[in-house]
Amino acid sequence: MRVVVIGAGILGSSVAYHLAMNGIEVEVFDEVHQGKATLAGAGIVCPWATKVTDPEWYALYAAGARYYADLVEGLTQRGETDLGYGRVGALVVAEDRKELDAAEQRIQSRIAHAPEAGNVRRVSAAEAKRLFPPLREDLDGIYIPGGSRVDGRLLAAAMTRAAVAAGAVLRHDHVSLELREGRARAIRSDGSPIEADEIVVTAGAWASQILRPLGMEHPVRPQRGQIVHLRLSGTETRSWPVLLPMTSHYMLAFDDSRVVIGATREDNTGFDYRVTASGQAEVLNAGLAIAPGLASATIIETRIGFRPAGDGYKPILGRVAGMDGLVIGNGLGAAGLTIGPYAGRLLAQICMGEAPDTDTSPYAPASA
């Protein structure tokens, strides 16, 4: 059996990794694009605070978080330790006490079934600032010990590398699809066809244009996010929790004295790969309002990512009915780094003809 995976972001690299671990022959095509969501995205693994209430989706979100322990252990055993992963906890803060109370209630009701979230507790403004030193002095918070962060760029690279070490082949080229006798056929940029029993399209925001030649109108659009990376030279930041201020802007820190503030959510920009004056100002102003202690931090880069945004928050996962050998994974949106590795495993199971650990039928792609 031979599988072609198109796109080696968090989802595609996980598909490749899980297939290769099972001895399947995999060829991964990863085109150079600017604005890949996985490379830009800040990785927060903390599903328990989300405001989204759909139970099916929440179950998937929580399962994604739960799977991280296994994933990290598996990669570590293969020598892959450079993942930017840390179970550093999450700190939920809010200006409005009622909003914080509501968040606490939401979290408490969920973690009953999620021992991995740890012993969630309310913390005073002083303790919150002790946990995340640049924070304002007046913000109470909720601390979730089981929250964690991961660097999507490193994690995807590690899964791809582990796949290659297990026999997968990685190519940096464009792949086109065409319809041939009721099947999708993959074609290299030199026009030659690629032999495959299964084609897995995990191309994120680029999937729509890849699927169009098959006559499919794939409902995923690019949503631009601008994410600012700061450095606090000499400062030990590795144990700082993820900061969730109950707005669309969040913060998290990495081992190398780096703090990340995210992110704009810009629809209708298409694939316009740019850091804009207003986007940068929005993110900096939001960050400094919550964490004024970042004022003198160094701006080291602003990353641009095109999140694959579908209709609502709903993922697209599974086999395309009406067309043999075509599997799609997409639309994870802002939950991509939490759900991605687990969803990749589910898609690998589908390719191998197994029943996926979580039923993906609610997320089935439209039939061809």
Are the C-beta atoms of 11 and 30 separated by less than 8 Å?
Answer: no
For residue 133, what are the β-bridge partners? none
Burial class (CB in 10 A: 0-12, 13-18, 19+), 220: buried
According to CB under 8 A, which residues from 236 to 255 bind its own copies?
Answer: 236, 238-239, 255
Using rule CB under 8 A, residue 164 touches its own copies: yes
Tokens read off for 53 = 């209430």
Tokens read off for 328 = 């799609």
Binding segment (CB under 8 A) for its own copies, from list 100-108, 111-119, 278-286, 328-336: 278-286
Are the C-beta atoms of 214 and 178 separated by less than 8 Å?
Answer: yes
Using rule CB under 8 A, residue 234 touches its own copies: yes
Using rule CB under 8 A, residue 288 touches its own copies: yes
Count of residues touching its own copies (by CB under 8 A): 68
Among 96, 181, 191, 353, binds its own copies (CB under 8 A): 191
Burial class (CB in 10 A: 0-12, 13-18, 19+), 115: exposed
Among 1, 63, 194, 284, binds its own copies (CB under 8 A): 284
Among 129, 136, 149, 221, binds its own copies (CB under 8 A): 221
CA torsion sign for 201, 223, 172, 11 is: negative
Among 222, 241, 310, 340, binds its own copies (CB under 8 A): 222
Tokens read off for 215 = 């006559």
Are the C-beta atoms of 258 and 154 separated by less than 8 Å?
Answer: no
Q: What is the DSSP string of 85-133?
A: -B---EEEE-SSHHHHHHHHHHHHHHHTT-GGG---EEE-HHHHHHHST
d(CA 39, CA 66): 22
Our CB check for its own copies shows the closer of 120 and 304 to be: 304
Binding segment (CB under 8 A) for its own copies, from list 102-110, 113-121, 164-172, 245-253: 164-172
Binding mask 54-93 for its own copies (x = CB under 8 A): -------------------------x-xx-----------
Binding mask 120-159 for its own copies (x = CB under 8 A): ----------------------------------x--x--
In angstroms, what is the minimal distance from the CB of 345 to its own copies? 20
Using rule CB under 8 A, residue 189 touches its own copies: yes
Are the C-beta atoms of 288 and 317 separated by less than 8 Å?
Answer: no
In angstroms, what is the minimal distance from the CB of 274 to its own copies? 4
CA distance from start to end of the chain? 23
Using rule CB under 8 A, residue 307 touches its own copies: no
| Radius of gyration from C-alpha coordinates of the chain | 20
Give the residue carrying structure tokens 């290299």: 188
Among 55, 77, 217, 361, binds its own copies (CB under 8 A): 217
Using rule CB under 8 A, residue 183 touches its own copies: no
Residue 163 — φ and ψ, nearest 5°? -65, -45
Among 38, 208, 264, 349, binds its own copies (CB under 8 A): 208
> Which parts of this chain interact with its own copies (CB under 8 A)?
31-32, 34-35, 79, 81-82, 154, 157, 160-162, 164-165, 170-174, 176, 178, 187-191, 208-209, 212-213, 217, 219, 221-222, 228, 230, 233-236, 238-239, 255-257, 268, 270-278, 280-281, 284-285, 287-288, 294-299, 302
